[in-house]
């Protein structure tokens, strides 16, 4: 397949490009500088020129706290930009994958969220990502473009090689001997972006559409994730808990946002990797890659 990736230099986009190439697909990686998804004309021109079989739309405004201060910017990218990509995909008979988030849920449940659970985002970021989902589904429902059957993949709590992420930040600070204070009353599903990318490509190959949850298995608080990352890195640090209220971040976050991945597991015929195992592989692989450089 010929696969165009937006946001191709981001945390997940870079892994999607790697995963698609590793499985023998022809990739068209477009970073922010190559294609600004808020420019509808340029999006249509790029998609028409490249004529991909699939577009994996990873470009997004992802600063959860920043979105509270600039909701219009977040909306322009996450809602309008996504609509631009969906319209261009439909017009050129390309398939589309939209990457969405656990933050579309309010987090008031105490069991993992199924894909058809009602969404109720708490934050501006979550609302704009929900709006992106709706924009994709609206383009699909318009019918004028016939068989545009998009795939929406929700994931959450990603870490990986590209860009800043929570795991690297914790390990770096522990290595500097700093004491860490980490939120202990939010629970999610820590997930290696590489695992999401591999499964996302597999779902495209199987021509799956609709809404699917893709995440590593199990759940943890940010405190548990930080402690595990520090321990697996062979470091010792004073890692203490702090409540969401004490931490005082600008954006509200769901207290519990674990995604139920059982439907995806049934489809694939295998279980997702448990998060501590994925994290150990990430830290091992990354350590080796760093030593080689």
Ligand X SMILES: NC(=O)c1ccc[n+]([C@@H]2O[C@H](COP(=O)([O-])OP(=O)(O)OC[C@H]3O[C@@H](n4cnc5c(N)ncnc54)[C@H](OP(=O)(O)O)[C@@H]3O)[C@@H](O)[C@H]2O)c1
Q: What residues from 1 to 20 belong to the interface with ligand X (CB under 6 A)?
A: 6-7, 9-13
Q: How is residue 104 written in tokens?
A: 């579309």
From candidates 32, 42, 173, 263, binder to ligand X by CB under 6 A: 32
Q: How is residue 199 written in tokens?
A: 């499964």
Q: How is residue 84 written in tokens?
A: 């631009």
Q: Binding string, 86-105, against ligand X, x = CB under 6 A?
A: -------------x-x----
**Cα–Cα distance measured from residue 102 to residue 132, given in angstroms and rounded to the nearest whole number:** 13
For 143, phi and psi rounded to 5 degrees? 75, -25
When asked if residue 81 is in the footprint of ligand X (CB under 6 A), the reply is yes
Q: What residues from 226 to 245 belong to the interface with ligand X (CB under 6 A)?
A: none
Residue 125 among the catalytic residues: yes
Between 37 and 139, CB nearer to ligand X: 37
Q: How is residue 35 written in tokens?
A: 């294609």
From candidates 4, 17, 28, 62, binder to ligand X by CB under 6 A: 62
When asked if residue 60 is in the footprint of ligand X (CB under 6 A), the reply is yes
CB atoms closer than 10 angstroms to residue 262: 13
Taking contact as CB under 6 A, which single stretch among the options 31-39, 104-112, 216-224, 259-267 is the one that binds ligand X?
A: 31-39
CA distances from 187 to 101, 139, 248 (A): 14, 33, 17
Query: How many chain residues touch ligand X (CB under 6 A)?
Result: 27
Query: Rounded to 5, what percent of the chain is helix, strand, coil?
Result: 45, 15, 35
When asked if residue 155 is in the footprint of ligand X (CB under 6 A), the reply is yes
Judge contact between 77 and 38, C-beta under 8 A.
yes
From candidates 58, 89, 152, 261, binder to ligand X by CB under 6 A: 58
**Cα–Cα distance measured from residue 178 to residue 83, given in angstroms and rounded to the nearest whole number:** 44
When asked if residue 36 is in the footprint of ligand X (CB under 6 A), the reply is yes
Sequence-ordered list of residues with C-beta below 8 angstroms from that of 233, at least 6 positions apart, any chain: 171, 174, 175, 283, 287
Minimum CB separation of residue 173 from ligand X in Å reads 19
From candidates 105, 113, 148, 157, binder to ligand X by CB under 6 A: 157
For 31, phi and psi rounded to 5 degrees? -85, 180
From candidates 5, 77, 152, 183, binder to ligand X by CB under 6 A: 77
From candidates 21, 38, 109, 255, binder to ligand X by CB under 6 A: 38
Residue ranges in contact with ligand X by CB under 6 A: 6-7, 9-13, 32, 35-38, 58-62, 77, 81, 99, 101, 129, 155-158, 163
Active-site residue list: 125
């Amino acid at each position: 397949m010929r696969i165009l990736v937006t946001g191709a230099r981001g945390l997940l986009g870079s892994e999607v490009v790697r995963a698609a190439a590793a499985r023998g697909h022809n990739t068209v990686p477009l970073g922010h500088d190559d294609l600004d998804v808020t420019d509808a004309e340029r999006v249509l021109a790029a998609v028409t020129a490249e004529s991909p079989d699939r577009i994996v739309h990873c470009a997004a405004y992802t600063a959860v706290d920043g979105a509270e201060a600039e909701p219009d910017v977040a909306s322009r990218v996450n809602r309008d930009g996504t609509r631009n990509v969906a319209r261009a995909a439909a017009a050129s008979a390309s398939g589309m994958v939209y990457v969405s988030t656990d933050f579309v849920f309010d987090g008031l449940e105490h069991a993992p969220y199924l894909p058809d659970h009602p969404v109720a985002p708490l934050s501006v970021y979550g609302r704009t990502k929900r709006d992106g989902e709706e924009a994709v589904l609206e383009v699909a429902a318009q019918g004028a473009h016939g068989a545009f059957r998009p795939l929406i993949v929700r994931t959450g709590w990603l870490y990986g090689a590209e860009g800043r992420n929570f795991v690297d930040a914790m390990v770096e600070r522990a290595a500097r001997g700093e004491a860490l204070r980490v939120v202990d009353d939010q629970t999610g599903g820590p997930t290696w972006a590489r695992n999401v990318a591999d499964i996302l490509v597999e779902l495209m190959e199987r021509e799956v559409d609709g809404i699917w949850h893709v995440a590593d298995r199990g759940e943890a608080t940010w405190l548990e994730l930080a402690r595990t990352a520090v321990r697996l890195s062979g470091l010792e640090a004073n890692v203490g808990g702090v409540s969401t209220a004490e931490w005082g971040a600008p954006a509200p976050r769901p207290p519990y946002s674990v995604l139920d991945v059982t439907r995806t597991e049934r489809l694939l015929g295998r279980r997702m990797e448990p998060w501590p195992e994925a994290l150990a592989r990430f830290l091992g692989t990354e350590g080796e890659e760093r030593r080689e450089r």
